[in-house]
């Protein structure tokens, strides 16, 4: 199986991580917050396939909220 390289820019990490945290803090369930963040990402990146958007959002949520790492994930351009 050949793995396809994604040309989708890894952006919006900060917005997604913030939105997820705020949604959870007001009582939104995990899956609803996740789906909202996927929608947020796809509004800004309509070219992104749904599976790619879900993968990125899941990675960012895991990085910032589950593992509570401080910095951006590798490859993100939004940490300026």
Residue 3 phi/psi, 5-degree rounding, is: -85, 130
CB 13 within 8 A of CB 69: no
Residue 58 has pLDDT above 80, yes or no: yes
Q: What is the pTM of this model?
A: 0.77
Helices (H), the chain: 13-25, 30-44, 50-61
Rounded to the nearest angstrom, the gap between the alpha carbon of residue 39 and the centroid of all alpha carbons in its chain is 10
Around Cβ 50, how many Cβ atoms within 10 Å?
9
pLDDT at 5: 42
Give tens-digit pLDDT for 26-47.
Answer: 999 999 999 999 999 999 889 8
CA 74/CA 42 separation, integer angstroms = 20
Q: In the chain, where are the structural domains located?
A: 13-66
């Amino acid at each position: 199986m050949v793995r396809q390289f994604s040309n989708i820019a890894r952006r919006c990490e900060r917005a997604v991580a913030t939105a997820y945290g705020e949604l959870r803090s007001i009582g939104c369930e995990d899956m609803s917050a996740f789906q909202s963040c996927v929608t947020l990402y796809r509004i800004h990146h309509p070219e992104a396939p749904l599976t790619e958007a879900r993968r990125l959002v899941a990675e960012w949520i895991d990085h910032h909220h589950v593992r509570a790492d401080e910095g951006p994930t590798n490859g993100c351009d939004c940490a300026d």
